[in-house]
C-alpha cells in the first residue's frame, strides 16, 4: 500500500491503495466516482476513458503508481470546461445515448478530439473515435453530436 | 619454488598483456568492409525483431506481439506518429512499463516515421540491403551521420526499452532481441567504423 495525492476534477484527494491498482478502480471503488465505466479491462473498448493532463487515457490499464501529479478529469468534471459542456449539450440535443454504458468514454474522447481539432473532418472523427466501441451502434448519432458541438464551439457559443 | 612460480607467472603476464593489446587494437583499428557488413547483419537482426519492427511499419498503424498483429483499439499513426486526439499512444503507454496491467511504456512512446519503415505495406520485413540504405540516407534518417546512428542505438530510450520490455498481461516476460544491448551497440560501432557499408543486393 502507498499514499497518493491526486488532483481529480480540480480537487485534491488523498488515498492509500496498492500501487498496482488501475486508476479506474481507484476512481470507482475508492473515490466512489462511478461515471467512468469498466468495459473490457484491456484498453480495447474506451469505456474507461478519462483525461490525464488533458490526454484521453484508458484508466483500466494505468496503475495508480504511474499517474504522478497529472490532473485527472472524469465524466463527472468534464462539464466544468467549455468544450466539455458543449459536447454534453450536443449529446443531449442529438439524443445520442441508447443504453448509455459506453457514453462517458465516448464523451471524454470527443472532448479530447475537439480541444485539439475544433473543426474535425469526417476522417478526424473516424480516427479519434475509432477506438471507442458502442454495442448499441450509436455511431451515427455520435458523429452528428460531434459535428453539432464543433459548430457550437467554433461560433463561440460554447 | 620461486623459479617455478616465476616460470608460471611470466607467460601468464605476457598472455594478459597480449590480450589487452589485442583488444585495444580491435577497438582502434578500422574494420574492413567485410567485417562492417557482418556487423550490419547483426544490427539488422535486432532491427527486425518484433520489439523494434512493430513500430517501424509502412502502414497507418503499429503492431504488437511477437506475431506482429495489428494493434488493438483501431490505433492509427496520426500526423506525428503519436496517434490522434482521443487515441494518442500516451493514452495507454506511460513513461515506464506497467507490469501489473501488462502495458509496455517508455518516454515519448511513438511510431518511427514512415521514412524509417522497415516493412512493406503487407507487413513483411524489408531486405537487409533496403533497411541499410534507408538507415544511412540522411534525407530519411533525421540527418544522422554514422556517429549519430551509433548514439541513437546506444542512448535512445525507446531503443533501450527493447531490452527491458516488461511483462505481458498474462505475467510472462516479453521476448528480447537476439543479442544484448551492449552487443548491439558494439556491432553498430563496428559497422559505423567500417563506414556504414550496405549490402549491394536488393
- Tell me the per-residue pLDDT of A126-156, one tens digit each, with 9 for 90 and over: 999 999 999 999 999 999 999 999 999 998 7
pLDDT value at residue B15: 37
Greatest CA separation for chain A? 49
**Smallest CA–CA distance from B77 into chain A, residue:** A127
- Residue A114 to residue A94: CA distance in whole angstroms: 17
- Residue B168 to residue B103: CA distance in whole angstroms: 7
Q: pLDDT by residue (tens digit) across A17-63?
A: 999 999 999 999 999 999 999 999 999 999 999 999 999 999 999 99
A145 touches chain B (CB under 8 A): no
pLDDT value at residue A156: 74
Verify whether the Cβ–Cβ distance A116 to B91 is below 8 Å: no
Residue range A59-68: mean pLDDT, rounded: 98
- Residue A99 to residue A137: CA distance in whole angstroms: 10
End-to-end CA distance of chain A: 42
Please name the residues between 69 and 88 in chain A that touch chain B, using a CB distance below 8 Å.
none
Mean pLDDT of all residues in chain A? 97
DSSP 8-state code for residue A41: S
pLDDT-derived band of residue B64, with 50, 70 and 90 as boundaries?
Answer: very high
pLDDT-derived band of residue A157, with 50, 70 and 90 as boundaries?
Answer: low
pLDDT-derived band of residue B105, with 50, 70 and 90 as boundaries?
Answer: very high
CA atoms within 13 A on the CB side of A11: 9
Facing A112 at nearest CB: one of B75, B86, B100:
B86
CB proximity list for B200: less than 8 A, separation 6 or greater: B129
Candidates A47, A51, A61, A133: best to mutate against B (most CBs of B within 10 A) is A61
- Residue B1 to residue B5: CA distance in whole angstroms: 6
pLDDT of residue B11 exceeding 70: no
pLDDT value at residue A155: 87
pLDDT value at residue A158: 53
pLDDT of residue B65 exceeding 80: yes
Facing B101 at nearest CB: one of A49, A61, A128:
A61
Q: Cα-Cα-Cα-Cα dihedral of A154, B85, A30, A89, to 10°?
A: 20
Verify whether the Cβ–Cβ distance A57 to B76 is below 8 Å: no
Q: Which residues of chain B are within 8 Å of residue A128 when distances are taken between CB atoms? A: 84-87
Q: How far is B101 from chain A (nearest CA, A)?
A: 5
pTM: 0.89
For B133-152, b/e burial (b = at least 16 CB within 10 A) is ebbbeeebbeebebeebbeb
Q: pLDDT above 90 covers what percent of chain B? A: 85
- List phi, psi (to 5°) of B77: -60, -50
CB proximity list for A85: less than 8 A, separation 6 or greater: A79, A158
Q: How far is B118 from chain A (nearest CA, A)?
A: 24
Count the Cβ atoms, other than its own, within 10 Å of residue A68: 12
Q: Does the interface ipTM go beyond 0.90? A: yes
pLDDT of residue B1 exceeding 60: no
pLDDT value at residue B26: 55
Q: Which residues of chain A are within 8 Å of residue B85 when distances are taken between CB atoms? A: 56, 112-113, 115-117, 124, 128
Cell numbers that stand for B78 in this block: 496520426
**Smallest CA–CA distance from B101 into chain A, residue:** A61
pLDDT-derived band of residue B48, with 50, 70 and 90 as boundaries?
Answer: very high
pLDDT of residue B86 exceeding 90: yes
pLDDT value at residue B93: 98
Verify whether the Cβ–Cβ distance A46 to B105 is below 8 Å: no
Please name the residues between 121 and 160 in chain B that touch chain A, using a CB distance below 8 Å.
none
Q: How far is B159 from chain A (nearest CA, A)?
A: 21
Cell numbers that stand for B92 in this block: 495507454
CB proximity list for A22: less than 8 A, separation 6 or greater: A59, A60, A61, A62, A63, A64, B100, B101
- Residue B55 to residue A151: CA distance in whole angstroms: 36
Check if the beta carbon of residue B137 is closer than 8 Å to that of residue B144.
no
Check if the beta carbon of residue A133 is closer than 8 Å to that of residue A39.
yes
- Residue B53 to residue B46: CA distance in whole angstroms: 9
Q: pLDDT by residue (tens digit) across B118-137?
A: 999 999 999 999 999 999 99
- Residue B48 to residue B32: CA distance in whole angstroms: 24
* Short-list B51, B54, B28, B39, CA closest to B149: B39
B72 touches chain A (CB under 8 A): yes
Facing A63 at nearest CB: one of B75, B85, B98:
B98
Q: pLDDT by residue (tens digit) across A84-134?
A: 999 999 999 999 999 999 999 999 999 999 999 999 999 999 999 999 999
pLDDT of residue B89 exceeding 80: yes
pLDDT value at residue B17: 35
Amino acid at each position: 500500500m502507498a499514499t497518493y495525492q491526486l488532483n481529480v476534477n480540480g480537487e485534491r484527494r488523498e488515498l492509500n491503495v496498492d500501487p498496482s491498482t488501475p486508476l479506474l478502480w481507484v476512481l470507482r471503488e475508492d473515490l466512489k466516482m462511478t461515471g467512468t465505466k469498466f468495459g473490457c479491462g484491456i484498453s480495447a473498448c474506451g469505456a474507461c476513458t478519462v483525461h490525464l493532463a488533458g490526454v484521453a487515457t484508458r484508466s483500466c490499464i494505468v496503475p495508480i503508481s504511474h499517474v504522478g501529479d497529472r490532473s485527472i478529469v472524469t465524466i463527472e468534471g468534464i462539464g466544468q470546461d467549455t468544450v466539455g459542456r458543449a459536447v454534453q449539450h450536443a449529446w443531449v440535443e442529438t439524443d445520442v445515448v441508447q443504453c448509455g454504458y459506453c457514453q462517458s468514454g465516448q464523451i471524454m474522447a470527443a472532448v479530447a478530439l475537439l480541444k485539439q481539432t475544433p473543426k474535425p473532418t469526417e476522417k478526424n472523427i473516424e480516427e479519434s473515435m475509432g477506438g471507442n466501441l458502442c454495442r448499441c451502434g450509436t455511431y451515427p448519432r455520435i458523429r452528428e453530436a460531434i459535428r453539432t458541438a464543433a459548430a457550437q464551439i467554433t461560433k463561440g457559443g460554447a | 619454488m620461486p623459479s617455478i612460480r616465476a616460470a608460471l607467472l611470466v607467460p601468464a603476464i605476457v598472455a594478459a598483456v597480449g590480450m589487452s593489446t589485442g583488444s585495444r587494437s580491435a577497438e582502434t583499428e578500422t574494420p574492413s568492409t567485410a567485417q562492417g557488413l557482418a556487423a550490419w547483419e547483426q544490427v539488422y537482426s535486432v532491427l527486425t525483431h518484433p520489439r523494434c519492427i512493430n513500430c517501424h511499419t509502412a502502414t497507418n498503424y503499429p503492431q504488437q506481439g511477437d506475431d506482429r498483429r495489428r494493434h488493438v483499439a483501431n490505433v492509427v499513426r496520426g500526423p506525428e506518429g503519436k496517434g490522434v486526439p482521443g487515441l494518442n499512444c500516451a493514452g495507454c503507454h506511460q513513461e515506464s512499463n506497467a507490469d501489473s496491467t501488462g502495458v509496455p511504456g517508455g518516454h515519448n512512446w511513438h511510431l518511427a516515421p514512415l521514412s524509417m519503415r522497415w516493412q512493406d505495406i503487407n507487413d513483411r520485413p524489408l531486405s537487409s540491403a533496403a533497411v541499410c540504405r534507408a538507415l544511412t540516407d540522411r534525407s530519411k534518417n533525421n540527418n544522422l551521420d554514422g556517429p549519430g546512428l551509433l548514439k541513437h542505438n546506444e542512448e535512445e530510450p525507446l531503443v533501450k526499452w527493447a531490452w527491458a520490455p516488461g511483462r505481458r498481461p498474462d505475467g510472462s516476460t516479453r521476448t528480447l532481441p537476439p543479442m544484448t544491448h551492449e552487443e548491439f551497440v558494439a556491432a553498430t560501432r563496428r559497422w559505423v567504423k567500417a563506414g556504414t557499408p550496405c549490402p549491394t543486393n536488393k
